Amino acid sequence: MFGELLAFQFARWMEADQQATPRTSAAFQLVEAGAHDGHLAADILTWLQQHRPALFNVLDYWIVEPSERRRPRQEEKLDGFAPRVRWLSEMSGPHTNSESAKVRGIIFANELLDAMPLHRLGWDASNHAWFEWGIGVEGNGFVWRRMPLSSEAESMAPQLSVELGAVLPDGFITEVCPLANRWWRNAARWLRRGRLLAIDYGLTEEELFVPHRAQGTLRAYSRHHLANDLLAQPGKQVLTAHVNFSALQKIGERMGLTTEVLSTQSQFLVPIFALAQKGDAEPGELTPERARADAVAAT
């Protein structure tokens, strides 16, 4: 149902664009970055094919997937949509240089940015400066080691106000993610007309610097359970940190984008469902019964 709700909203956005530019006959692109096994792409394309066939017929679905290991699974899942789907290894490159090769439609990512490599910073209250937590080897395991800021981390270290710097406790931890910022900048550059959407775990800058986040947001999960030791079982735990949405917003606006929505996932999806119920969707396709059934299945 998540995929169908996204498809419903994507269709509304693209149809509004068609009405705003009736003389434009160019195709639309849906660009998904990090499509995992292709399941979400299949749900979106299936809904559009069944319920918005005219739009589906002028649609190209692009998957940005750098992993050669994942592509075969995605290709198998999306075999029925083969003429409409193409794969790209990255967003930057020759296809972004000309205006005609840019995206008219939607670029989106679901739980991608929170999985990107990051720098873990700590606050030295006595020197009013950030340092970096690196990883070293001790015995048969990994350990955290304090080190000077790398040049990349230094360029992104939060600039604290005098008031916040005076009260931030010694050892306060936060994270910076250059790759997430770079991804957002490249995506904004690639978008000719349309929307850029990230669905992810994240916070604003104000929400990052609060007392109960003194250990940062970096977490480890093993078999869907929170794990205490971030450095244990290397390769067998999922590591994730919250996205700094304020940083992405600033980057997008510097690239000429306008921030339309910054909300929780439920605040984003519930109004879409409400619109579908009011008659914008075909009878029976998005019903309260479906919502309850899917919620039970998800639990």
Q: Which tens digits make up the pLDDT trace of 153-162?
A: 999 999 999 9
Q: CB count, 10 Å around CB of 152?
A: 13
State how far the alpha carbon of 87 is from the alpha carbons of 28, 71, 75, 82, 183, in Å: 16, 8, 9, 11, 17
> What pLDDT score was predicted for residue 19?
87
> What pLDDT score was predicted for residue 63?
95
Confidence of residue 130 (pLDDT cuts 50, 70, 90): very high
Do both 7 and 62 map to the same domain? yes
Helix, strand, coil distribution of the chain in percent, nearest 5: 40, 25, 30
Q: What is the span of the domain harbouring residue 126? A: 119-176+206-240
Quick one: residue 104, left, alpha or beta (phi over 0 = left, psi -120 to 50 = alpha)? beta
pLDDT averaged over every residue in the chain: 88
* Average of per-residue pLDDT across 6-32: 88
Do both 111 and 146 map to the same domain? no
Grouping H, G, I as helix, E, B as strand and the rest as coil, residue 29 is strand
> What pLDDT score was predicted for residue 167?
94
* Average of per-residue pLDDT across 5-25: 88
Do both 39 and 186 map to the same domain? yes
Do both 128 and 46 map to the same domain? no
226-260: burial string, b at 16+ Cβ within 10 Å, e else: ebeeeeeeeeebebbbbbbbbbbbebbeeeebeee
> What pLDDT score was predicted for residue 235?
87
Do both 227 and 98 map to the same domain? no
Task: Tell me if 202 sits within 8 A of 242, measured CB to CB.
Answer: yes
Q: How far apart are CA 271 and CA 276, in angstroms?
A: 9
Tokens of 13: 């956005």
Lowest mean pLDDT among 9-23, 74-88, 172-186, 274-288: 274-288
Do both 196 and 82 map to the same domain? yes
Do both 107 and 235 map to the same domain? no
Measured distance between the N- and C-terminal CA atoms of the chain, rounded to whole angstroms: 14
* Average of per-residue pLDDT across 87-93: 78
Confidence of residue 99 (pLDDT cuts 50, 70, 90): low
| pTM for this entry | 0.87
Tokens of 188: 């904004």
Do both 152 and 267 map to the same domain? no
The CATH number for 260's domain is 3.40.50.12710
**Residue appearing with tokens 């059934």:** 293
**Residue appearing with tokens 């205006």:** 99
| Total number of domains constituting the chain | 2
Do both 265 and 170 map to the same domain? no
Do both 157 and 107 map to the same domain? no
Task: Tell me if 143 sits within 8 A of 135, measured CB to CB.
Answer: yes
> What pLDDT score was predicted for residue 280?
52
Grouping H, G, I as helix, E, B as strand and the rest as coil, residue 233 is coil
Do both 53 and 105 map to the same domain? yes
> What pLDDT score was predicted for residue 289?
55
Largest CA distance in the chain: 68
Q: CB count, 10 Å around CB of 3?
A: 17
Indicate the DSSP class of residue 112.
-
pLDDT over 80 at 208, yes or no = yes
Q: Which tens digits make up the pLDDT trace of 246-287?
A: 999 999 999 999 999 899 898 999 999 988 877 655 544 555
> What pLDDT score was predicted for residue 62?
95
Do both 6 and 27 map to the same domain? yes
Indicate the DSSP class of residue 15.
H
Confidence of residue 98 (pLDDT cuts 50, 70, 90): low
